[in-house]
């Protein structure tokens, strides 16, 4: 097949490179004889080079040196061989990445289980092959490709380069590519998939992960992230064609020459901002709002887009944190680029807000799909809202404004709010009182996005959705969490409440008085050893004998257990979980006799075990809960949370790293 974009030979791209697909042995000096005698373990799911048996590390190494065209990652492998670091080589070469809650995500660098030129090319080949089999019109619909601002000098990897290579693979098979010409927020890719009617979308990002990481996020034609069976089938398709198709797959300049490549930036940015206006409910108040806002983009993509969003809402532009306004892949001013970590990473934002007499701080993570919010307290200090608290405010706000425009109670029968199962049950409390629908999904916004699509097909509308890890979606303009739109919505809500002489925190307590106080705790421990994680969860599943889960936590009886990994739910007559079984990670939920709900789960993007607890109290008489009652709830929840961590996870015995706050 002759590509309209002109597939080129390896010699044309790089006359000195190995011929793609040729049998090229690694230099003998780089292959000690002893390497082939060591058994190599199979990667997760049995993917890629791996499996038990002698010589497989040699085979994986030879494949890498045969296929990889990136000078920097080749040098990394050669250096590891020369220095005899075979365990590191096994880790890098003898397993492959698998799709987690946010697609493929791993450190950048050489190796089949890292993010680099070769693995991105392989992943894209698998995606294109799967799309070609699944969608007859992929060659007319095309694929959207976007990227953030990450880069790593030592591996020669950057999000922009990886996006261009992603596009090059597609163009080499005559698949049109809508490649953004500059960095964009992650939600722009799924928004563009739907707006352009594309077959799929790819976003190169690792969101809020450490600077060493990058990722490959895949969206289906409905704009939502892929879920089973697509993720497993794409992985299988990747494994079927690991060898790069042609030298053109390595030619990032192809995107500048090929007529099948278009740049959707201007159109998508304009359409997105126009649609964003539908979430603005009180523009007349916004223009006269005396509140000042500070915004940090955490060295990522968010600055220019949040500024535009404020303009759409008629709000004065937020004051940017100068040290964090411009993209920088090294994230030099924060110890980690995750605003979810709270006050410890918001220091520069809070200091600027103090100097500027700004009451609200907004922080988007590096790819601008998450949002953290802090408010100046009336006394002193700052209130940094948790994801659950901010969801209570945004959920209330979205329904309040929806009801203003839909006074007929019957209309509530077609609206929904969604949340992941590890998030607060506050939206459920809203739904019980107000009469709309509420549903839970598995953790990860991909489940929310796909459920939104299913509901829309039956004439229903999702007006708000969230996950506790500061991921929010107001309205339904994009089936993905969106820090840009959420920042503008929070600002307008704060302006409206200020006009009513209320702060965000005061309104949060008003919500609790009406719908019941919800106290929650969310944290994590770090575990870099997968076998330790397996041991921890195996112990929990056999805590009181084989096949017997724990019977109490913190001295409180456990009345129900739900294990989504195995599909078990003791609260159901058939003992089967309503939520889909998910064997890609561990997740066990305990319901206690005192009403506390506690969950342990492994992260789909980082080496963490997360734990969540929540106490949901019904409103007292006349809907009021006194301060002593709240303190009692918090004390009881703290006891259960400590037991969940210390008795079930055993951090010291298992060498777990506790969260640094």
The per-residue pLDDT for 581 is 82
What per-residue string of b and e applies to 116-125 under the rule 16 or more CB within 10 Å gives b?
A: bbbbbbbbbb
CB neighbour list of residue 432: distance below 8 Å, 6 or more residues apart: none
**DSSP assignment letter at 103:** B
Provide the 10 A C-beta neighbour count for residue 263. Answer: 14
Stretches where the chain sits below pLDDT 50 are 1-2, 9-54, 621-625, 661
Cα–Cα distance between 9 and 526 in angstroms, integer? 46
The pLDDT of residue 371: 98
List Cα–Cα distances, 144 to 157, 186, 199, in angstroms: 20, 12, 8
- In the set 207, 237, 476, 485, the catalytic residue is 207
Q: For residue 537, give the H/E element and its range.
A: helix 530-541
DSSP string spanning 417-484?
EEEETTS-SHHHHHHHHH--EEEEE-SSHHHHHHHHHHHHTTT-EEEEEEETTTEEEESSSSSS--HH
Instruction: Name the packing angle between helices 56-67 and 86-93 (round to 10°).
Output: 70
Predicted pLDDT of residue 99? 78
Using left for φ > 0, alpha for ψ between -120 and 50, and beta otherwise, residue 178 falls in: beta
Do residues 294 and 209 lie in contact, with contact meaning Cβ atoms separated by under 8 Å? no
Q: Could you give the C-alpha distances from 184 to 17, 201, 219, 568, in angstroms and in order?
A: 33, 13, 15, 41
Three-state SS at 200 = strand
Residue carrying the six token digits 């089967």 = 576
CA distance 554 to 654: 20
Residue 262 exposure: Cα atoms within 13 Å on the Cβ side = 16
Spatial strand order in the sheet of 471-474: 437-441, 415-420, 461-467, 471-474
What is the model's pTM?
A: 0.89
At residue 162, φ and ψ (nearest 5 deg) are: -65, -35
Q: Is 129 an annotated catalytic residue?
A: no
């Amino acid at each position: 097949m002759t590509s309209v974009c002109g597939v080129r030979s390896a010699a044309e791209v790089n006359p000195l490179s190995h011929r793609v697909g040729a049998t090229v042995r690694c230099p003998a000096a780089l292959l000690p004889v002893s390497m082939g005698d060591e058994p190599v373990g199979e990667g997760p799911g049995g993917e890629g080079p791996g499996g038990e048996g002698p010589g497989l590390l040699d085979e994986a190494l030879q494949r890498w040196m045969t296929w990889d065209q990136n000078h920097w990652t080749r040098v990394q492998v050669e250096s590891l061989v020369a220095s005899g670091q075979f365990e590191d080589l096994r880790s890098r070469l003898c397993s492959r990445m698998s799709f987690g809650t946010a697609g493929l995500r791993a450190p950048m660098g050489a190796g089949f289980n890292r993010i680099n030129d070769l693995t991105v090319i392989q992943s894209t080949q698998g995606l294109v092959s799967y799309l070609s089999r699944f969608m007859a019109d992929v060659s007319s619909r095309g694929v959207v490709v976007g990227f953030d601002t990450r880069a790593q000098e030592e591996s020669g990897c950057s999000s922009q380069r990886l996006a261009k290579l992603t596009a090059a693979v597609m163009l080499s098979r005559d698949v049109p590519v809508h490649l953004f010409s500059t960095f964009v927020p992650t939600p722009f890719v799924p928004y563009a998939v739907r707006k352009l009617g594309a077959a799929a979308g790819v976003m190169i990002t690792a969101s809020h992960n450490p600077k060493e990481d990058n990722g490959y996020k895949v969206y289906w034609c409905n704009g939502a992230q892929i879920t089973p069976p697509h993720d497993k089938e794409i992985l299988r398709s990747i494994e079927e064609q690991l060898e790069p198709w042609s030298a053109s797959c390595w030619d990032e300049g192809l995107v500048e020459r090929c007529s099948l490549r278009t740049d959707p930036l201007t159109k998508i940015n304009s359409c997105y901002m126009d649609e964003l206006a539908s979430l603005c409910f009180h523009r007349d108040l916004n223009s006269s709002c005396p509140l000042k806002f500070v915004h940090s983009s955490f060295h990522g993509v968010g600055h220019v887009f949040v500024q535009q969003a404020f303009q759409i809402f008629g709000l004065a532009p937020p004051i940017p944190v100068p040290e964090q306004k411009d993209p920088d892949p090294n994230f030099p001013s924060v110890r980690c680029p995750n605003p979810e970590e709270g006050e410890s990473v918001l220091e520069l934002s809070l200091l600027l807000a103090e100097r500027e007499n700004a009451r609200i701080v907004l922080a988007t993570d590096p790819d601008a799909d998450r949002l953290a919010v802090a408010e100046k307290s009336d006394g002193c200090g700052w209130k940094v809202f948790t994801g659950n608290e901010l969801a209570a405010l945004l959920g209330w706000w979205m329904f309040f404004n929806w009801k203003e425009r839909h006074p007929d109670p019957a209309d509530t029968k077609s609206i929904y709010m969604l949340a992941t199962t590890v998030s607060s049950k506050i939206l459920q409390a809203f739904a019980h009182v107000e009469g709309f629908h509420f549903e839970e999904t598995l953790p990860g916004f991909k489940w929310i996005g796909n459920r939104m699509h299913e509901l829309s097909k039956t004439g229903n509308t999702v007006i708000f959705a969230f996950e506790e890890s500061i991921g929010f979606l107001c309205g339904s303009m994009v089936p993905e969490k969106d820090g840009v739109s959420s920042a503008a919505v929070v600002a307008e809500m704060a302006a409206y409440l200020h006009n009513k002489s209320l702060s965000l925190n005061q309104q949060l307590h008003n919500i609790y008085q009406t719908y019941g106080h919800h106290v929650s705790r969310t944290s994590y421990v770090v575990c870099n050893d997968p076998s330790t994680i397996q041991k921890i969860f195996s112990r929990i599943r056999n805590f009181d004998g084989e096949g017997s889960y724990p019977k109490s936590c913190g001295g409180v009886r456990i009345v129900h257990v739900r294990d989504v990994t195995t599909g078990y739910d003791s609260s159901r007559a058939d003992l089967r979980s309503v939520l889909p079984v998910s064997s890609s990670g561990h997740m066990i939920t305990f319901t206690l006799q005192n009403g506390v709900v506690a969950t342990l789960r492994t992260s789909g993007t980082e080496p963490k075990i997360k734990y969540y607890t929540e106490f949901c109290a019904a409103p007292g008489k006349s809907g009021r809960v006194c301060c002593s009652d709240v303190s009692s709830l918090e004390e009881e929840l703290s006891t259960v949370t400590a037991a969940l961590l210390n008795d079930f996870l055993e951090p010291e015995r298992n060498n777990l790293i506790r969260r640094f706050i």
